[in-house]
Chains A and B, each alone.
Chain A
Amino acid sequence: MEIKIKLFASLTKNRFIEEIRRYEEGTNVKTVIEDINIPENEVFIIFVNNIHAGKDYLLKDGDTLALFPPSGGG
C-alpha cells in the first residue's frame, strides 16, 4: 500500500518534506516512524488524513501521515 508522509519543522532536516512510500498492509504508524529514522521521542503529534492518531494506528492504502515535533517553549 502507498502512504504519503509529510514531515514538519525540524523533522524535515536531513529528511524530506513530503514523500510517498510503500508498505505492507497492516503497517502501523510506529513502523513508519522507525523506517524514516526519526527517534520515537522526537515525534510529538501524529495526524492521519488530518485527524490525530496514535502510534499504534493501522495505516490504510492512500493514507496521508503527518508528523510534527514538540513545541514546549514559551
Chain B
Amino acid sequence: MNLTEDQIERYSRQIILDNVGGKGQEKLLQSRILIIGAGGLGSPAAFYLAAAGAGNLGIIDGDEVDLSNLQRQILHSTDDVGRAKVDSAKETLEKLNPDINIITYNKRVNAQNISSIISEYDFIIDGTDNFGAKFLINDACVLNKKPYSHGGILRFHGQTITHVPGSACYRCLFETLPPKGAVPSCSEAGVLGVVAGFLGTLQASEAMKYILKTGELLTDSLFYFDILNTEFRLLKIKRNKNCPVCGDNPSISKLEEKNYEQPVCDLKQQR
C-alpha cells in the first residue's frame, strides 16, 4: 500500500522515528488489533492506537456506559450514559481518526465465542475487569497461539505481562482463579483513573511494538507499579513447566465456561 499525503502528514511525527518509518506506518494501517473491554484500560489503549493509525481496531464490550465509568473510561462522555459502550467508543474513535476501520462487538467474550473472534486479529489487549475474563483470554490466546497483553489494575497499582507463543503466560504466575469475594473489584476497592490510563497506554505500546517488530516486548516479564508509593518494578518470569495451559503436560486443552466462573469462598454469598 502507498501512504496518502494526508496520512503522511497525520502520522508524520511517528513516521520520522527510525523504528516506524513509512513501512512501519503501513504495517500499522494494515494491522488488526482487538481490545477486549472498552473501559478503564481499553479506553486509553484504543485512543492511542486509533490516533497512531492502527488500521483495523476491534472493540468488544457488552456493557452500557454508566455515570460511574466516566472518571476513568475516557472514550465515553456524559451524553453517552446509557449507550452501548462499543457505540460510544466507535463514535469517539472515528471522530479522532476517520482513516481507520473500527469493528465492534456488543457482547462479552465467553468460552464459546472467543476463539473465533480472536482468530481475526494479530494482537489482543485484555482490558477486562474480572478474573474470569482474564483467565479465559489467557487460555484462549495460548491455545490459539495469539500474542496478547494482560493488564490488571486496582486502587493505585497495576500489572502487565505480554505473552507471545512460547513465552510465560498469566497462568504461569497464577494457576487458578481466586475465590469470588477473596479479591475486591474496582467497584468495591476503587481505582484512580490515571492508573488505568498509565497501564492502558503501556498495553497499546506493546501492541504497536509487536506489529512494528521493534524494541523489546514485555515477554517473560511482569511489570508491576504502585503510583501511591512510586514503585515501578520489572520482574523476570519463566514459563512454568507445570502451567495448566502452556506447560509441558497441560490439563487445559479446550475452553469450558465452568473453568472461568470464580469459586465462591463465602457460602453466605450464594443466597
Q: Which of B51-59, B205-213, B234-242 contacts A (4 or more CB under 8 A)?
A: B234-242
Enumerate chain B residues within 8 angstroms of A44, measured Cβ to Cβ.
174, 178, 183
A-B contacts at CB below 8 angstroms, number: 96
Q: How far is the CB of B151 from chain A (nearest CB, A)?
A: 7
CB-CB under 8 A from B226, the residues of chain A are 8-9
Residues of A with C-beta under 8 A to B152: 70-74
A70-B151 contact, Cβ under 8 Å, with A12-B229, A52-B238: no
Which of B134, B158, B196, B235 is in CB contact (< 8 Å) with A52?
B235
Q: Is the CB of A9 within 8 A of B235?
A: no
Bound CA–CA A50/B182 (angstroms): 26
Say if the beta carbon of B185 comes within 8 Å of chain A: yes
Residues 162-195 (chain B) with a chain A CB within 8 angstroms: 172-174, 178-179, 182-183, 185-186, 189, 191
Q: How large is the interface on A (under 10, 10 to 19, 20 to 34, 35 or more residues)?
A: 20 to 34
Contacts A51-B237, A73-B191, A74-B41 hold; do A8 and B182 have CB atoms under 8 A apart? no
Which residues of chain B are within 8 angstroms of A66 by Cβ–Cβ distance? 233, 235
Interface residues on B, range: 35 or more
Cβ proximity bits B142-154 to A, threshold 8 Å, 1 near / 0 not: 0000000001111
> Complex formed: what's the CA distance from A37 to B62 in Å?
40
Specify the main secondary structure of chain A where it touches its partner: mixed
The answer to whether A72 touches B134, judged by C-beta atoms less than 8 angstroms apart, is yes
The answer to whether B123 has its CB under 8 Å from any CB of chain A is: no
* Alpha-carbon gap, A45 to B226, bound state (A): 14
Q: Which residue on chain B has the smallest CB distance to residue A12? A: B229
Other A-B pairs, 19, CB within 8 Å; known A8-B226, A70-B152: A8-B157, A9-B155, A9-B157, A44-B178, A45-B159, A50-B235, A51-B235, A52-B172, A52-B173, A52-B235, A52-B237, A52-B238, A68-B159, A71-B153, A71-B154, A71-B159, A72-B131, A72-B152, A74-B127
Binding site for B on A (CB under 8 A): 8-10, 12, 17, 41-42, 44-45, 47, 50-52, 66, 68-74
* Closest A-B pairs by Cβ, 8 of them: A73-B186, A71-B152, A9-B157, A41-B182, A74-B129, A9-B226, A71-B154, A74-B41
